Amino acid sequence: MSRPATPNPEDPAGSFGERVELGPGDWLAVTRPTSALSIVTTVDADGRPNAAPFATVVRVSQEPLQLAFTCTEGSDTCANVQATGQFMLNLVSHGEDLLRRVVITAEPLPSGIDEAAHAGLTPLPAIRIRPPRLLECYAHLELETEWLKSWSGRCMVVGRVVAASARRDCLGPDNELVWKEARPVHYWGGTGGHSFTPLGTPMPVVAD
């Protein structure tokens, strides 16, 4: 079932819609915490978009900034990354309406069907790559593929960040994430169905 988007795409300058392009020195800040829930958007060779949620995208290098995830070999995500060498990470906030849409993007739809549109998510043009950003997400990392490795029916994708952006209200004066606005989330899973948990507030610790 498709769902209408909650934010107003006709108001791109509003507090929800305004995006800040981040310089390379600020890219690392929006990758924290590593392994937060993301929606990965890709496009196929004909430019048709695809979206799928991933709970285990991890940072594997800080300089250059690289992230990795695994997907099912033969999936649309895998095929699109192989075809284009690009993918977008859209970082998800904890909120019931958005998480319901995340679950919808995981539905097994035929190739060529845009899961983001099916879930009522709103595309935004990227800065440097072809796959779109998603308006409802708090930050976006644009990546070009470094390498892929297939094994046991899985495909590992490692990408290098080439651009990043975030909602203005989720950034502090130094472009660090404002935690209470970003509200990163982990996928909890479980036998009872999909469940999610918000990440706790960061607690600085200094060694004695």
Whether residue 89 lies inside any domain: the answer is yes
Q: What is the pLDDT of residue 145?
A: 98
C-beta separation of 30 from 168 below 8 A: no
Say what the pLDDT of residue 16 is: 62
User: pTM value?
Assistant: 0.89
Note whether residue 82 is domain-resident.
yes
For residue 6, being part of any structural domain is answered with no
Whole-number pLDDT of residue 2 = 35
Q: Is the pLDDT of residue 13 over 70?
A: no
pLDDT band, residue 40 (cuts 50/70/90): very high
How many domains does the chain contain in total? 1
Q: Give a yes or no: residue 202 inside a domain.
A: no
Q: Is residue 180 part of a domain?
A: yes
Give domain status of residue 13, yes or no.
no
Domain of 86, in residue numbers: 19-185
Q: Domain of 106: which CATH number?
A: 2.30.110.10
Read out DSSP for 138-181? SEEEEEEEEEEEEETTEEEEEEEEEEEEEEGGGB-TTS-B-HHH
Lowest mean pLDDT among 107-121, 136-150, 151-165, 190-204: 190-204
How does pLDDT run across 157-169, given as a tens digit for each residue? 999 999 999 999 9
Predicted local confidence at residue 3, as pLDDT: 38
Q: Tell me if 7 is assigned to some domain.
A: no
